[in-house]
C-alpha cells in the first residue's frame, strides 16, 4: 500500500464482464458479414456465438445474431460501432430489451453399447432430445433449447461415449408484438 495521500494507493474499480445477445438487421449482400466480423476482430472483441440468415427475402434483409462478452463500456462500443456500419439497418441488444426467447440446435454423436447405450437413451428422453440417426454402435441426437441446456446435455454425454458435437449458434427474438 502506498503512502497516505498518494494517488498510487487508489484501487482501480473492477468492471464485471457481461454476456449480451445482439441482433443486427443488415442488407443481404456480399461482404456484409465480413465487415461485421472485421469490426470484432479488429478491436479484439470475442464472438461466442454467431447466427446469420436471410429473414426477409423481398427486402433482401438478413439478421445476424451475435453473443458476445465484455464490460458494459465495451458492449456499448460494440453496439455503437455496429450501428455506424453502412449496410446496418438496426442494432438491438436483446439482453436489455426485456424477455427474449433464445434457442440453439445441436447434433450430438454418442457411441455406446450396453449400459452406456441405455443411459444415453434415458438422458436423451429426459432432455427431450430426438434420435435422428442410430446404429448398433452409435446415436446422433438432435437437441434444441437454451445454451445452458445443451451444455448440460453434452457434459452428461461425455462419459457415455461422446464423439462429436455440432451447434448452430443462438437464434434469439424479443417477446411481444413489437418488431426489431
Q: CB of 9 within 8 A of CB of 3?
A: yes
Structure confidence by residue, pLDDT tens digits, 75-107: 999 999 999 988 899 999 999 987 889 999 999
Instruction: Round the average pLDDT of the chain to a whole number and report it.
Output: 91
Give alpha helix (H) positions in the chain.
Answer: 32-43, 72-84, 115-126, 147-161
DSSP state at residue 8: G
Reference 143, options 108, 101, 100; nearest CA is 108
Ordered by where they begin, the domains of the chain are: 18-93 (3.30.70.260), 101-173 (3.30.70.1150)
Share of the chain above pLDDT 70, in %: 92
Spatial separation of the C-alpha atoms in residues 97 and 73, rounded to whole Å: 17
Residue 3 has pLDDT above 60, yes or no: no
139-174 per-residue burial string, b: 16 or more CB within 10 A, e: under 16: bbbebbbebebbeebbebbeebbbeebebebbbbbb
Residue 12 has pLDDT above 70, yes or no: no
pLDDT of the residue at 7 = 59
Q: CB of 22 within 8 A of CB of 40?
A: no
Q: How far is CA 63 from CA 49, 59, 98, 133, in A?
A: 14, 12, 19, 31
SS3 164: strand
Spatial separation of the C-alpha atoms in residues 95 and 69, rounded to whole Å: 12
Residue indicated by cell numbers 446422433: 140
Please give the radius of gyration of the chain, using alpha carbons only, rounded to the nearest integer.
21
Structure confidence by residue, pLDDT tens digits, 105-156: 999 999 989 999 999 999 999 999 999 999 999 999 999 999 999 999 999 9
Amino acid at each position: 500500500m502506498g503512502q497516505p495521500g498518494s494517488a498510487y494507493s487508489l484501487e482501480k474499480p473492477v468492471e464485471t464482464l457481461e454476456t449480451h445477445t445482439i441482433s443486427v438487421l443488415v442488407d443481404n449482400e456480399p461482404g456484409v458479414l465480413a465487415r461485421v466480423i472485421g469490426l470484432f476482430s479488429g478491436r479484439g472483441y470475442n464472438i461466442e456465438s454467431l447466427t446469420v440468415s436471410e429473414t426477409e427475402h423481398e427486402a433482401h434483409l438478413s439478421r445476424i445474431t451475435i453473443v458476445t462478452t465484455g464490460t458494459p463500456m465495451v458492449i456499448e462500443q460494440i453496439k455503437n460501432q455496429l450501428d455506424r456500419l453502412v449496410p446496418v439497418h438496426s442494432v438491438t441488444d436483446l439482453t436489455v430489451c426485456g424477455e427474449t426467447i433464445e434457442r440453439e440446435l445441436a447434433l450430438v454423436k454418442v457411441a455406446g453399447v450396453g449400459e452406456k447405450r441405455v443411459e444415453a437413451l434415458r438422458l436423451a428422453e429426459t432432455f427431450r432430445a430426438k434420435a435422428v440417426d442410430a446404429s448398433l454402435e452409435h446415436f446422433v441426437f438432435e437437441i434444441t433449447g437454451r445454451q445452458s441446456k445443451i451444455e448440460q446435455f453434452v457434459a452428461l454425454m461425455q462419459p457415455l461415449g461422446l464423439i462429436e458435437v455440432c451447434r448452430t449458434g443462438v437464434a434469439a427474438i424479443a417477446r411481444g408484438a413489437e418488431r426489431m
